[in-house]
Amino acid sequence: MASPLYALVDGNNFYVSCERVFRPGLNGQPVVVLSNNDGCAIARSNEAKALGIAMGAPWFKIRHMQESHGLVALSANFPLYGDLSDRMMSLVAGLGHHQEIYSIDESFVDLSGVRGDLLKRSRTIRERVLQWVGIPCCIGIGPTKTLAKLANHIAKNAERKPGSYPAGLAQVCNLAAMDRATLESVLAATAVDEVWGVGRQIVAQLKKGGIHTVLDLSRIDLGTVRQRWSVVLERTVRELQGQPCVGLEDAVSDKQQIACTRSFGRVVSALGDLSEAVSEFASRAAEKLRRQDGQACQVLTFVRTSPFRDDPQYSRSIVVPLRRPTSDTTRIVQAALAGLQAIYKPGYLYAKAGVVLLELQPASVQQTELGLEPDEDQNKGRLMDVLDGLNRRYGRGTVLLASTGLAGDRRPWSMKQELRTPQYTTRWEDMPVVHA
């Protein structure tokens, strides 16, 4: 049986790279992609990082760099990012036997038993993704997922900061092919902060105990780790030592909670406007729930004002139990609106609201209800199938519940996305046109 071997393929500054595919003039410029409502930086180009812009930096604090440093800011364009991610992942799948899509820009690939020059194979895949999709990426290879993730970080750092690691590790780094001395020198040059799954509090505790590098952590006594910290950190240390403890997940695990929350483009005070927003959030959450073939037993609704304003503050949430588990949009929206009615207070300027579906269970678990005929329940399921089908085919928001109001940016609670680029690959009207 072949020894375990994993690769992690990660798109570089993914959201920014997606924007540069269709706007090559952004190459070499400092670029940030902003969160919903253009609130803060959620992606930065290397040039923006060099200016000292931190992840999550509020837009109003860095806005002055537009004039002083030529900073370019763009609103998040998630339909475009999702489509380019799908294209990238389909190419990455050719690297090995099995693939686990870990996030929109990261994918683990099983390389166990794959013959030949893995560095050459990885560089070929990387060049193919760059040529066919336009996304630059780095690849890390290791005998465990934790080491593969670490190797990917080393490959990126070696590319961004030549001289930080030995030559030849940029873009593709294979820790499994290194001799012991080289591996230890690389681990010693990498801060313990970069280990996958080790949070800030634990990092602070480790550094206080004299553990500053990945090599230090890999040499720590397992019994001490288990006793002082947790089994989770012990598993991480074992993975750093080359002992696989986490395998690939062939299927995405069902979520235990499903949330849809948004900050508003403008503050909202009227109950009618809040009801529209909560109706849409509940509808989106119900659609996500059906996508994993689940049902919800409870619906949580919350509203809050902005803590960054000097207005009177108010924040409240409520959980409404459902009479029976369901994924029916109409029932979930009714429960969410009932919760909103209970917690709404006039006279406040609300900045955010959300809906969270709780106590999820598989749709295969059925409970009967007095007064509800089986055919009626089946008709509800068919109605939801038609609703989802139309929205998939013609675009999100094609068919809505009446309580959601009119679709579009005219709604006062709609998000700000003043700097969004066209949805080049997912919307016919935005498709680029080439003139001869």
DSSP letter for each residue of 282-314: HHHHHHHHHHTTEEEEEEEEEEEE-TTSSSPP-
Q: Does residue 134 carry a pLDDT above 90? A: yes
Confidence at residue 175, expressed as pLDDT on a 0 to 100 scale: 94
Give the contacts of 195 (CB within 8 A, at least 6 positions apart). 146, 150, 214, 217, 236, 240
Q: Does residue 41 carry a pLDDT above 80? A: yes
329: helix, strand or coil: helix
Q: Does residue 162 carry a pLDDT above 80? A: no
Mean pLDDT of the 174-187 span:
92
Confidence at residue 310, expressed as pLDDT on a 0 to 100 scale: 86
In the chain, the domains with their CATH numbers are 1-190+419-436 (3.30.70.270), 258-404 (3.30.1490.100)
Report residue 315's pLDDT band, with 50, 70 and 90 as the boundaries. Answer: very high
Report residue 368's pLDDT band, with 50, 70 and 90 as the boundaries. Answer: low
**DSSP H or E segment with residue 386:** helix 374-394
Confidence at residue 403, expressed as pLDDT on a 0 to 100 scale: 75
Q: Does residue 313 carry a pLDDT above 80? A: yes
Q: Does residue 412 carry a pLDDT above 80? A: no
Q: Which residues of 148-172 are buried (b: 16+ CB within 10 A; e: fewer)?
A: bbbbbbbbbbbbeeeeebeeebbbb
Mean pLDDT of the 299-303 span:
95
Q: Does residue 156 carry a pLDDT above 80? A: yes
Mean pLDDT of the 294-307 span:
92
Report residue 126's pLDDT band, with 50, 70 and 90 as the boundaries. Answer: very high
Q: Please state, as a whole number, how many other Cβ atoms lie within 10 Å of the Cβ of residue 180.
A: 7
Q: Does residue 260 carry a pLDDT above 70? A: yes
- The answer to whether the CB of 81 falls within 8 A of the CB of 104 is yes
Report residue 130's pLDDT band, with 50, 70 and 90 as the boundaries. Answer: very high
Average pLDDT, the chain: 87
Report residue 365's pLDDT band, with 50, 70 and 90 as the boundaries. Answer: low
Mean pLDDT of the 177-183 span:
91
Lowest mean pLDDT among 33-37, 143-147, 191-195: 33-37
Confidence at residue 319, expressed as pLDDT on a 0 to 100 scale: 94
Q: Does residue 354 carry a pLDDT above 80? A: yes
Mean pLDDT of the 302-323 span:
91
Lowest mean pLDDT among 96-100, 409-413, 422-426: 409-413
Confidence at residue 250, expressed as pLDDT on a 0 to 100 scale: 56
- The residue to which tokens 């929350």 are assigned: 261
Q: Does residue 379 carry a pLDDT above 70? A: no
Question: Could you tell me the pTM of the whole model?
Answer: 0.77
Mean pLDDT of the 83-91 span:
95
- Residue type present at position 280: E
Q: What percent of the chain has pLDDT over 90?
A: 57
Report how far residue 336's alpha carbon sits from residue 354's, in angstroms, rounded to the nearest whole number. Answer: 9
Confidence at residue 392, expressed as pLDDT on a 0 to 100 scale: 73
Confidence at residue 384, expressed as pLDDT on a 0 to 100 scale: 76
